[in-house]
Structure 1
Amino acid sequence: MTIVAAADGSALGNPGPAGWAWYVDDSCWRAGGWPHGTNNMGELMAVLDLFKSTAHVPAEPLHILCDSQYVINCITKWMPGWKRKGWRKADGKPVLNVDLLKQIDDAIVGRTYKFEWVKGHAGHHLNEAADDRARDAATAFQAKRAPIEGPGFPGAGSPSTAASSAAAPSTAPAQAAPAAAGPNAGAKRPRPAAEPAEAEQLDLFSAFADDDEADPAFASEADSALAVIVALERELMDPEVRADEAKLGMLLHKDFAEIGASGRLWDRKDIIAELVTADANEASLEVLGLDSVDADTALLTYRSVESRGSVLRSSLWRRDNGRWQVRFHQGTLEA
């Protein structure tokens, strides 16, 4: 019987207090984390612990729901090439998160599994449950308390036993001791309010920044790095993201400016205030062009189709300190 589970990670500040979790149902899930880590580390650790926790049932196929393209591509596309190069990229630099990746590479031997990408924060039951628990774990480390680890997988042994078999990466401190499981250990808890500076960094900011095995849809390493910009632009069009001041703050450059379809000039403060209070409508995105201006600047042009009609748009994305953000945006109603 196929085991269907969601795996997710969270990092408050990215890097910052970090958590991970996988979830099958309320009686079968696990979570943990570190005082300091990244979202990608949490995503990888959730997958690793899922494989470790189900190692006693190796004949059962795993169907893993994951909202991280980085994790899926690492495991299903890029790891073989990295291994051939001694876990180094084409430029000779070491692969990031190599400790976790090596453990995953060992854990998947002999296993039958498949990954399915699901959109994060879109109401998917299993993904939301894993996300809640990963965020709770990150929040626990932020508050300097042990996280609730969950019941684990039936037959896998105690949570502490499973935890010792899925060691924390060398880039983060070891996981804290588990908290005592109370009667509400498996209950869903509300997300804590977070200041923008501590809000979870969207995984897509670093999804392609360190990887040289390009998706077949993109011809080169540079094209692969640019691919993340389209996904980030789609995030900006997501009504849930538009209603979240913290997420908007991470996507918009400190010097952001926009000339809207109405002809109005917006600055960063005004556009955030407008977006979080406006009624957001769903819109489609048709890419017209995606060009590299320089190593840290890219121009995306596209057509959005929304309730008022189609709009031709251009976004200038700038990467500062490893983070892609929109520096300038312009929209023009299409004739």
Structure 2
Amino acid sequence: MTIVAAADGSALGNPGPAGWAWYVDETCWRAGGWPHGTNNMGELMAVLDLFKSTEHVADEPLHILCDSQYVINAVTKWMPGWKRKGWRKADGKPVLNLELLKDIDAAIAGRKYTFEWVKGHAGHDLNEAADDRARDAATAYQAKRTPNAGPGFPCSGLSSSSQSSPSQPNTAQPNADPAGAAPGGSTPVDIAQPELFSMSDDDPVLSASRDDSLEAVVELERELLDPAVRADPLRAAELLHSDFEEIGASGRRWSRQEVLAMISDETVAEHSLEVLTLDRIDDSTALLTYRSDAPRGSALRSSIWKFVHGRWQVRFHQGTPEA
């Protein structure tokens, strides 16, 4: 019998107090977190803990509902290449969230599992339940109290006393381990929505979500602010329209090729995003204005997104540091 569970993460401030959770039903869920972490750390930890919590029923297929394309792509597409390169990206830089990814790589060996992308904050019962518990855990750490860890998985090897969150992973990037092969005996992953993650016939990048709602634009803009996404040339290229242009704070105009080359070499901190306006200009165009906040200061930004060939891509972007 297939185990169906949603996995989600939350970070207040991103980075900030962080939580994670997986959820099967009211009698079977688990949550935890850290005083300081990121959304991606929470998403990865939820998936990792779900695999660990179901080790005693490893013969049962695991179907994971996840609203993070970063996590799905990292686990199902990017890890084999990272391992071949000694856990380094195509540009030679260390992979982010390395310890969590290595632990996931070990946990999935020999397991039967599938991932299904679900849209976050869209009323999906399991996803909403996992999101609520991840956010509650992050809120608990913000208030300096112990979060509700949940009942866990029945008959799991994790005792009730271990239901609190594991230690916060070390997010520093140590020297890479020697290159390794794909985990022996693991079952090839079946992606429930191949149009999201398979290669497009007419574009040498991964195809994106076919969700034409305005809320999808905000989630994709958040991806563009994510250092892990910006450091991945395949995903970054996927999000930029073929005619993309950007006008920087200096007044310089940047082409798509220049932006892709620049962001692959930059070192950036996590940004938060506060939506100011979100409007549909016409059937295939959306205008998003927002405030981004990072350690070096805040900025006011605007992006024009176009819905073409069944996906949103950013056509134009401009940002100005806020006084």
TM-score where L is the length of structure 1: 0.59
Structure 1 residues 246-300: Cα deviation after superposition (integer angstroms, max 9, x where no partner): xxx9255xxxxxxxxxxxxxxxxxx64xx7xxxx99x85479xxxxxxxxx9975
User: Which of 225, 232, 237 is matched with 1:223 structurally?
Assistant: 237
- Verify the 8 A CA contact 1:13 1:201 in the aligned structure 2: no
314 and 113 in structure 1: CA distance in 2 versus 1, 3 angstrom threshold? closer
State the distance in 2 between where 1:89 and 1:43 align.
20
Name the structure 2 match of 1:80.
80
Map of 2:306 onto structure 1? 302
Q: Is the CA contact 1:66–1:115 (under 8 Å) kept in the aligned structure 2? A: yes
Question: Between Structure 1 and Structure 2, how many residues are aligned?
Answer: 225
Counterparts of 1:321-332 in structure 2, within 5 Å, are: none
| Residue 210 of structure 1: aligned partner | 231
Structure-to-structure mapping, 1:55-134, within 5 angstroms: 55-134=55-134
Task: Let me know the Cα RMSD of the aligned residues.
Answer: 3.5
CA drift at 1:167: 4.7
Between structure 1 and structure 2, the one with the greater Rg is: 1
Shift of 1:171: 2.9
The match for 2:210 is: none
Which residue in 1 is equivalent to 2:145? 145
Contact 2:137 2:148 in 1 (8 A): yes
Distance in 2 between the 1:51 and 1:147 partners? 21
Task: Give, as a single letter, the amino acid of the residue that structure 2 aligns with 1:208.
Answer: V
2:99 and 2:41 mapped to 1: Cα distance?
10
Task: Give a deviation string over 1:114-157, Cα, whole Å, max 9, x none.
Answer: 00000000000000000000000000000000100000000104
Is the 2:96–2:171 contact (alpha carbons within 8 Å) kept by the matching residues of 1?
Answer: no
CA contact (8 A) 1:22 1:46 kept: yes
Q: Residues 76, 319 of structure 1: CA spacing in aligned structure 2 closer, same or farther, 3 A cutoff?
A: farther
2:317 is matched with 316
User: Following TM superposition, by how much is the alpha carbon of 1:89 offset from its aligned partner in structure 2, in angstroms?
Assistant: 1.0
Q: 1:13 to 1:91 in 2, by over 3 A?
A: same
Point out 4+ residue stretches in structure 1 off by more than 4 angstroms: 200-203, 297-301, 317-320
5+ residue gaps, structure 1, are 173-199, 216-221, 231-248, 253-270, 288-296, 305-312, 321-326, 328-335
Q: CA deviation at 1:315?
A: 4.2
Counterparts of 1:303 and 1:80 in 2: how far apart (Å)? 31
Query: What secondary structure is seen at the aligned counterpart in 2 of 1:208?
Result: helix
Once the two structures are TM-superposed, the CA of residue 90 in structure 1 deviates from its matched residue by 1.6
User: CA, structure 1 residues 317+62, in 2 after alignment: closer, same or farther (shift >3 Å)?
Assistant: farther
Aligned to 1:37: 37
Unaligned segments of structure 2, at least 5 residues: 173-218, 245-271, 287-300, 309-313
Structure 2 CA distance, aligned partners of 1:8 and 1:93? 27
TM-aligned CA distance change 1:80 to 1:303, over 3 Å: closer
Evaluate the alpha carbon distance shift between residue 317 and residue 118 of structure 1 in structure 2; reply closer, same or farther with a 3 A threshold: farther
Change (3 A) 1:44 1:135: same
| Alpha-carbon displacement from aligned partner over 1:282-327 (angstroms, at most 9, x marks no partner) | x85479xxxxxxxxx99755369xxxxxxxx96425598xxxxxx9
SS at match of 2:170: coil
Code of the residue aligned with 1:32 in structure 2: it is G
CA deviations on 1:91-136 (whole Å, 9 max, x unpaired) are 2110000000000000000000000000000000000000000000
Report the equivalent of 1:11: 11
Answer yes or no: is the 8 Å Cα contact 1:208–1:225 preserved in 2: no
Change (3 A) 1:203 1:133: farther
Aligned residues: percent identity? Answer: 66
1:161 aligned onto 2:162:
yes
Find the counterpart in structure 2 of residue 239 from structure 1.
Answer: none
Please list the CA deviations of residues 59-94 of structure 1 after superposition, one character each: whole Å capped at 9, or x if unmatched: 010000000000000000000000011111122110
Deviation readout 1:184-222 (Å, 9 max, x if unpaired): xxxxxxxxxxxxxxxx9985231622334x26xxxxxx5
**Mapped partners of 1:147, 1:116: distance in 2:** 27
Q: Per the alignment, in what secondary structure is the counterpart of residue 64 of structure 1?
A: strand
Evaluate the alpha carbon distance shift between residue 2 and residue 202 of structure 1 in structure 2; reply closer, same or farther with a 3 A threshold: farther
User: Which deviations, in whole Å up to 9, do the C-alpha atoms of 1:3-60 show, x marking residues without a partner?
Assistant: 0000000000000000000000000000000000000000000000000000010101
The whole-number CA distance in structure 2 between the counterparts of 1:99 and 1:225 is 27
Aligned to 1:291: none
Q: Relative to structure 1, is the Cα distance of residues 42 and 51 closer, same or farther in structure 2, using a 3 angstrom cutoff?
A: same
